[in-house]
Amino acid sequence: MTLYSPGAPNPEGLASAAQARVFEALPEAQSAFFAPGRVNLMGDHIDYLGGVVLPMSLTEGTVLAAEAKARRDEGGLEVWALDASEKALLSSKDLERPLGDWRRRLVAVLAALGLTPETVPFRIAISGTLAGGGLSSSASFALVLARWLRGEGLGEAHDSWSLARILQTVERDHAGVACGLMDPLAIDLGTVDGALRLDCEQGTATPVALGFSEAVFALVHCGVGRRLDDGAYNRVRARLAAALAEEGFSADRLPPQGARVRAAPLRHVQSEQARVWAGCEALAAGDAAAFGALMDASHGSLAEDYGVSLPELDRLTALARGLPGVHGARLTGAGFGGWAQLLVELDAWPELHRTFAAEGFPKAFIATPGGAPRALPLGSSHG
Ligand code: GLA
């Protein structure tokens, strides 16, 4: 049975389309690295309030291949950003580029690790399979770089939590997105067994197995890509902070459990946190119907109370809810476009996939847990 559409991300290998591209670009590569993306199964827009969230890393992600430069070669780090079709010999001056430029973000990650491009004498090629919004392509890009550098003995050593804080600062200062801690942690602490319960306040991560017998998470793209550096993400955060202050709560913490809240954004964050705890129970019990109902409620809350959905995401998730074999559907991640997360019966997926394609949503795949960043063998796909 083929669970994946042609041209859609292929879960059989780790981001195999990206592996093929980087090894074609650098056939003499001496090292290669993979960092997964992530899907957040429940708990959106609460990580920056110290909330507990439930992400899972993915077999789709970002791949980097590298070859050391010969001494006679000019300069330091040369990067081939294959998905942007751009090649650049980086320099510290790239930090002066506009917010969000990939060269600025890359040099900012180096700087945060105590490095400059001039001191990294490598040629690297990078490509990913997370395009479209919502699967954390930015954190995956930063982590493939940071963890590959460590593998080469370069840059300061950091545990996952301190690296996540560093990358959060890079994202804020160099991409203009005041994000939380979830994405780099979901990736760096990812397991191949299932999801993670991340407590962004306590700094703890607990593996959570996917207890369903027949149901799987699927991802379907709504057809509208999104960027967060246009200010939308920061605006919803600012609106939330204002509502928290207005009702006398701390601006960067969840309102205490059981506290009476009035404003719609506060209703979202409070109810979303409760859905994470209920979702953990449903996962442990293998209760797909219960988890699906929580997903539907989460989408409603993100759309109506938090205002981060789009008509295309609403149409896709409403369509999904009416189809046999679907337990639930929600936008996942920041919102404003991108991928939707479904919980579906595995047997029903081929037919569902055809239906989504016929309705204008052809990009879809089953979400498989992808583990943590790691070195890739140079063997088969390369040569
Ligand atoms: C983006 C941010 C995360 C988180 C999600 C929404 O992915 O990077 O920190 O806030 O949105 O849950």
What is the per-residue pLDDT across 126-141, written as a single tens digit (0 to 9) for each? Answer: 999 999 889 999 999 9
> By alpha-carbon position, which residue is closest to atom 1 of ligand 1?
334
Q: For ligand 1, is residue 47 a contact (CB within 6 Å)?
A: yes
Of residues 219 and 71, more confidently modeled: 219
Instruction: Output the average pLDDT for the chain.
Output: 93
What is the per-residue pLDDT across 294-319, written as a single tens digit (0 to 9) for each? Answer: 999 999 999 999 999 999 999 999 99
Residues known to be catalytic = 183
Q: For ligand 1, is residue 183 a contact (CB within 6 Å)?
A: yes
> By alpha-carbon position, which residue is closest to atom 11 of ligand 1?
334
Judge whether residue 351 has pLDDT over 60. Answer: yes
Cα 72 to middle of ligand 1, angstroms? 43
Distances (CA, A) of 43 to 225, 281, 357: 21, 14, 28
Residues of the chain with pLDDT > 70, as a percent, come to 95
Of 244, 212, 259, 241, residue with least CA distance to 366: 212
Q: Kindly give the pairing relationship between strand 339-345 and strand 326-331.
A: antiparallel
Atom in ligand 1 nearest the alpha carbon of residue 43: 12
* Six-digit token string for 202: 């306590």
DSSP assigned state of 325? T
pTM of the full structure: 0.95
For the segment 139-152, the average pLDDT, to the nearest whole number, is 98
Of residues 359 and 383, more confidently modeled: 359
Judge whether residue 178 has pLDDT over 50. Answer: yes
The Cα–Cα gap between 362 and 141 comes to: 25
Atom in ligand 1 nearest the alpha carbon of residue 40: 12
- Most informative mutation of 179, 226, 330, 339 for ligand 1 (most atoms within 8 A of CB): 179
Confidence (pLDDT) at 29 = 97
The Cα–Cα gap between 329 and 293 comes to: 9
The Cα–Cα gap between 217 and 57 comes to: 12
Q: For ligand 1, is residue 272 a contact (CB within 6 Å)?
A: no
Judge whether residue 198 has pLDDT over 60. Answer: yes
Cα 46 to middle of ligand 1, angstroms? 8
Long-range contacts of 312-319 (CB under 8 A, 24+ apart): 312/222, 312/223, 312/224, 312/337, 313/222, 313/224, 313/337, 313/338, 313/340, 315/222, 316/220, 316/222, 316/223, 316/340, 316/356, 316/361, 319/355, 319/356, 319/359, 319/361
3-state secondary structure of 312: helix
The Cα–Cα gap between 188 and 143 comes to: 7
Cα 168 to middle of ligand 1, angstroms? 10
Judge whether residue 5 has pLDDT over 50. Answer: no
Confidence (pLDDT) at 2 = 34
Judge whether residue 227 has pLDDT over 70. Answer: no
**DSSP states of 6-49:** TTS--TTSTTHHHHHHHHHH-TT-SEEEEEEEEEE-S-TT-GGG
Lowest mean pLDDT among 34-43, 223-232, 249-258, 354-363: 223-232
